Structure 1
Amino acid sequence: MIVGVVRCECMLFSAHSLKEKRSVIQSILRKATNGHNLSASEVNFQDAWQRTELAFACVGTAKTAVERELARALSLIDFKTEIERTNTFYEWF
């Protein structure tokens, strides 16, 4: 069994309120988990308007399958213009 976790710090430069920030984040989290073997959550900076840390976790039998799921989740962030990924940290168990 392989468990992969990726945490990424992100900036939302155009967010002017927590409501705007949450709408972008909820969209990413919903798309990441919808129909995929993945868990996702905002894990830090919940009260900051323009900063967030998102975490994605996946469990599988092969590391390549887990890496593919995590990369797909990160690509959702990369294709959004409202959010920019700054730091990314991988953990394997």
Structure 2
Amino acid sequence: MIVGFCTIELRIPMSHSLKNKRGILKSIINRIKNRFNVSIAEVANHDDWKLATVGIVTISNDTVYIQQLLNKVIEYIENNYLDVQLFNHIIEFL
């Protein structure tokens, strides 16, 4: 069993409050959960309304599959959320 996890740092320049940021993140998180069947949550920068750090986790027996899936999630965020800037991501395996 291989656990793959990805940490994504997002900048939300259009956000003007924590409520607005959480609404944007909730939309992103729900769509990614439903589309890619991964676990995802905000893991840092909870009180900063311009920044968010999101953690994504999946499990498989195939490292290549995990890498491809997490890359698809990153690509999905970049292509579908133009009001959010993805400025850093790290993919790791356990």
Q: Structure 1 length normalisation: TM-score?
A: 0.91
1:88 Cα offset (Å): 0.9
1:10 Cα offset (Å): 1.0
Bigger fraction of residues in helix: 2
1:72 Cα offset (Å): 2.2
C-alpha root-mean-square deviation of aligned residues, in Å?
A: 1.3
Identity across aligned pairs (percent)?
A: 26
Cα distance change, pair 35–89 in 1 and its aligned pair in 2 (3 A): closer
Map 1:70-89 onto structure 2 (within 5 A): 70-79=70-79, 80-89=81-90
Checking the alignment, whether the CA contact within 8 Å between 2:36 and 2:73 is kept in structure 1 is: no
Tell me, which stretches of 5 or more residues in structure 2 are unaligned? Answer: none
| Structure 1 consecutive aligned stretches of length 4 or more whose deviation exceeds 4 Å | none
Q: What number of residue pairs does the alignment pair up? A: 93
Q: Which residue of 1 aligns with 2:19?
A: 19
Task: Measure, in 2, the Cα distance between the counterparts of 1:81 and 1:37.
Answer: 22
Q: Structure 2 length normalisation: TM-score?
A: 0.90
Checking the alignment, whether the CA contact within 8 Å between 1:39 and 1:56 is kept in structure 2 is: yes
